[in-house]
Amino acid sequence: MVNREPIGVFDSGVGGISVLRELVQIMPNENYLYLGDSRHAPYGTKSLEEVRALTLENIDVLLQRGAKSIVVACNTATSAAVAILRKKYPDLPLVGIEPAIKPAVLYKPDSRIVVMATPMTLKQEKFQKLMKQYENQAQIIPLPCPGLMEFVERGDLDGEDLKKYLTELLWTVKEEKIDSIVLGCTHYPFAKKMIEQVVGNDVMIFDGGNGTAREMHRRLKVAGRLTDSETKGTVSFLNSCDTEEEKQLCKYLLTRE
């Protein structure tokens, strides 16, 4: 039996479960160890130094618990710390996540694309570079969404409050037709249904979860670290907010349609 150690998945809270779902879909026989730092969330409105320190600390926890590879399933933590992590662990299969602008541009060139993300992700050089790369091919509108991840952290995904928040937030960019929305925070796919209700079904919505999961699969394959198990793997949850409610929310989000 080889390579049965878990794939470590990290997020500032429960949002990275939207990436975990994709990982499980693509590599069902792998074991997973998911770590959410809900006690310190949100990361997106903290200082760069704080996010870096928290991310490094949490990745260490996953490695100490035997993770064979790491998915930084948080756009904010990726933009703040992925370069440092790559330097610190040069031999580790490590994949971060970034807003899926490329698929949105390919879907419709010259279109109007709104990128919803945390204030920190949008401010970082990594995002500025990404936007520059595509600015001649589409109109890209960054939309900071402070407060949105908190709805997901509370498991409040279908309520009137969320609808009101999104209606007010998107009102500013809706005056002209939006062709697509990129969900540049791993919490937001859990609010996708409500976003669709607000902007209408003709707006395409993209997120980076599937691409990130495919990249992890590719990296493990190249490194010869895919499991040889022929049966379904396990998913374990760790959270810095160690309550029964938190555990229930994690399980609920993993299986929610």
Q: Which among 211, 192, 207, 102 is positioned nearest to 148, based on CA atoms?
A: 192
Which residue, among 247, 197, 232, has the nearest Cα to 28 in the 3D structure? 232
Q: DSSP letter string over 170-224?
A: HHTTTTS---EEEE-STTGGGGHHHHHHHH-TTSEEEESHHHHHHHHHHHHHHTT
149 vs 191, beta carbon nearer ligand DGL: 149
**Binding residue for ligand DGL, selected from 6, 8, 11, 130, defined by CB under 6 A:** 11
Return the axis-axis angle of helices 17-26 and 209-222, rounded to nearest 10°. 50
Of 42 and 93, which has the nearer Cβ to ligand DGL?
Answer: 42
Stretch that binds ligand DGL, among 135-143, 158-166, 185-193, 240-248 (CB under 6 A): 185-193
Q: Does 240 bind ligand DGL (CB under 6 A)?
A: no
**140 contributes a contact to ligand DGL by CB under 6 A:** no
CA atoms within 13 A on the CB side of 251: 8
Indicate whether 43 belongs to the interface with ligand DGL (CB under 6 A). yes
Q: How many CB atoms lie within 10 A of CB 249?
A: 23
Q: Name which of residues 104 to 123 contact ligand DGL (CB under 6 A).
A: 118, 121
Site track for ligand DGL across 192-231, x = CB under 6 A: ----------------------------------------
- Nearest distance in Å: CB 209, ligand DGL: 10
74 is catalytic: yes
Q: How far is the CB of 11 from ligand DGL (least distance, A)?
A: 5
3-class secondary structure, 101: helix
- 44 forms part of the interface with ligand DGL (CB under 6 A): yes
Minimum gap (Å) between residue 221 Cβ and ligand DGL: 25
The nearest distance, CB 79 to ligand DGL, in angstroms, is: 8
Rounded to whole angstroms, how far apart are CA atoms 211 and 103?
10
List for the chain the helix, strand, coil content (%; round to 5).
45, 15, 40
Cα 10–chain centre separation: 9
Q: Would you please indicate which residues are annotated as catalytic (active-site) residues?
A: 74, 185
Question: What is the contact surface with ligand DGL in residues (CB under 6 A)?
Answer: 11-13, 15, 41-44, 74-76, 118, 121, 149, 185-187
